Amino acid sequence: MSDGLGSVALVTGGSSGIGLAVATALGAKGLQVLLTGRDSTRLEAAAERVRAGGGTAPWYAADLGRDEDLRSLATWVERESGRLDLLVHSAGSLHLGSIDSVGWQDLDADYRINVRAPFLLTKALLPLLRTARGQLVFVNSTAGLAAGPDNALYAATKHALRSLAGSIRDQVNASGIRVLSVFPGRTATPMQEAVVRFERRSYRPDELLQPEDVAEMVVSALLLPRTAEVVDVVIRPMTKPTAERSPP
């Protein structure tokens, strides 16, 4: 068991990007890290990475947009470990485009993954978190603070996630549960690569935040003494994005 962090964490979106970096960092601290995502092959590869860093990483494939998967995931967590000290919401959905170009179902898709799933999974696992006096982490985005012209759907759901986290915090602090929202800027992840390609820019991951940077910040906040609670953390790359665009 890692003092201050507990012994068991669940990380959604744990097969890549920030979720995988957080899972790896928690595993290195000695936690059992439960991973979930949609792709079994990627989850197994992620679990191997966590194990290589010294952690244990059972995984469960689930589509967080499906209620039956959310329920079965919560049941699996209780059966697999019987406790939960950390719940890290890192799964995300992103549809880009103008109001003219986005599809009729795109807002619903982003809402189900970015807002509805974190709410319902938190609700389902709250008894375990209360017993452990655990911690909640919502991986948000700087888009949740200011929207751009082509990310209205994603930004709207991330604004909603910020409000959701704040309300949950006010409800669960009395049970000893801390709630952290993290707002990373452009980070070298598969999602960000898709954004850069959409913008017709060259993808230069070395100019972006690294997932490990975000993970280090998250773990540092979680390890603070219980006399303190970090509420919102904004972290952004030092290098500003280049203006270079490829031809249409």
The pLDDT tens digits of the residues spanning 33-50 come to 999 999 999 999 999 999
Question: What is the span of the domain harbouring residue 55?
Answer: 8-235
The reply to whether 240 falls in a domain is: no
Q: In sequence order, which ranges of 104-151 are alpha helices (DSSP H)?
A: 106-111, 117-132
Digit-by-digit pLDDT tens for the chain (248 residues) are: 456 899 999 999 999 999 999 999 999 999 999 999 999 999 999 999 999 999 999 999 999 999 999 999 999 999 999 999 999 999 999 999 999 999 999 999 999 999 999 999 999 999 999 999 999 999 999 999 999 889 999 999 999 999 999 999 999 999 999 999 999 999 888 888 888 889 888 889 888 999 999 999 999 999 999 999 999 999 999 887 665 544 44
Q: What 3-state DSSP class applies to 159?
A: helix
- Residue 64 and residue 86: Cα distance in Å, rounded? 18
The reply to whether 37 falls in a domain is: yes
CA nearest neighbour of 14 among 25, 28, 1: 25
The reply to whether 204 falls in a domain is: yes
Report the CATH number that the domain containing residue 152 is assigned in CATH.
3.40.50.720
Is the model's pTM score more than 0.75? Answer: yes
The reply to whether 115 falls in a domain is: yes
The pLDDT tens digits of the residues spanning 225-248 come to 999 999 999 999 988 766 554 444
Number of domains in the chain: 1
**Torsion (CA) 237, 219, 113, 192 in degrees, nearest 10:** 20
The reply to whether 156 falls in a domain is: yes
The reply to whether 19 falls in a domain is: yes
The reply to whether 246 falls in a domain is: no
- Residue 53 and residue 56: Cα distance in Å, rounded? 9
- Residue 248 and residue 246: Cα distance in Å, rounded? 7
The pLDDT tens digits of the residues spanning 143-173 come to 999 998 899 999 999 999 999 999 999 999 9
- Residue 154 and residue 144: Cα distance in Å, rounded? 8
The reply to whether 13 falls in a domain is: yes
